[in-house]
Structure 1
Amino acid sequence: MMTDVVESSGSVTRPEAGRPGPGVPSFPADVPGGDDGAKPAAGTGTPEPAAAARIVEIRERIDEIDRALIELWQERARLSQEVGVTRMASGGTRLVLSRERAILERFRVALGADGTQLALLLLRAGRGPL
């Protein structure tokens, strides 16, 4: 599985198999004070053990949240699809634009412009592309 790396410059790089991507230091020579052989704990980006442990803890919680978000996303999409099927089976319209506008507004108010983009993705997941 290929993972994109976003560098501090904001550019995305794709490392080649077996080689670190651009901007990824080779240890220990490229690490400040690297002569002491200190290497970052796997995947944390820091050689400091307490900081690395905290990063691992935080990432475990992030992974839990990601799993919950994925489950909720999938449930929301199923429910939204069921609403659409039920509405159309009863002679209703495929979409209710006032409902979509309300959802877009709710996400925009709570999350700003990114919320609008998220709401658009959620809507599409539930009803398909327009």
Structure 2
Amino acid sequence: MTVQLDSPGIDTQGTASAAEAELGTLFAQVQELDAQILDVIKRRAELAQRIGAVAKESGASREAQAEEMAVLDRFGELGADGNTLAMTLLRLGRTRRG
């Protein structure tokens, strides 16, 4: 006996709508995480800029540089993409000029 997948006896519509519903839920969760990540990155950049200003005033630039290297190490578990992400975070946190 052969059954066609598009034959009236097979409910493919229910499977498609369940998958669409799951995708919608997953996309919503990713969007929420993106919003949280963006908020955390902004806060991190503000803190890093304050650290840079205090380090410059106090002459603690070596400590700040050592911490930047530690950031690279922390994100190393993500491989090359982790290094790129760490460098981006460091750039975002540098004191803005002008």
Please, what TM-score do these two structures have when normalized by structure 1?
A: 0.57
Structure 1 counterpart of 2:88, from 99, 114, 121 = 121
The aligned residue for residue 56 of structure 1 is: 24
8 Å CA contact 2:52, 2:64 repeated in 1: no
Structure 2 counterpart of 1:74, from 42, 45, 49 = 42
- Between Structure 1 and Structure 2, the one with more helix by share is 2
For the aligned residues, what is the CA RMSD? 2.3
Structure 1 gap segments, 5+ residues each: 1-32, 34-46
1:120–1:88 distance in 2 versus 1, CA, 3 Å: same
8 Å CA contact 1:77, 1:125 repeated in 2: yes
Distance in 2 (CA, whole Å) between partners of 1:94 and 1:106 is: 18
1:99 is aligned to 2:63:
no
Structure 2 gap segments, 5+ residues each: 1-5, 7-14
- Number of aligned residues: 83
1:94–1:128 distance in 2 versus 1, CA, 3 Å: farther
Distance in 2 (CA, whole Å) between partners of 1:118 and 1:63 is: 19
Please, what TM-score do these two structures have when normalized by structure 2?
A: 0.74
The aligned residue for residue 25 of structure 1 is: none
Q: Which consecutive segments of 4 or more residues in structure 1 shift more than 4 A?
A: none
Greater relative CO, 1 or 2 (CA 8 Å, sep 6+):
2
Distance in 2 (CA, whole Å) between partners of 1:120 and 1:128 is: 14
Instruction: Write the deviation string for residues 30-59 of structure 1: whole angstroms up to 9, x where unpaired.
Output: xxx8xxxxxxxxxxxxx9211111000000
Measure how far apart 1:96 and its partner are.
2.9
8 Å CA contact 1:84, 1:94 repeated in 2: no
Measure how far apart 1:128 and its partner are.
5.4
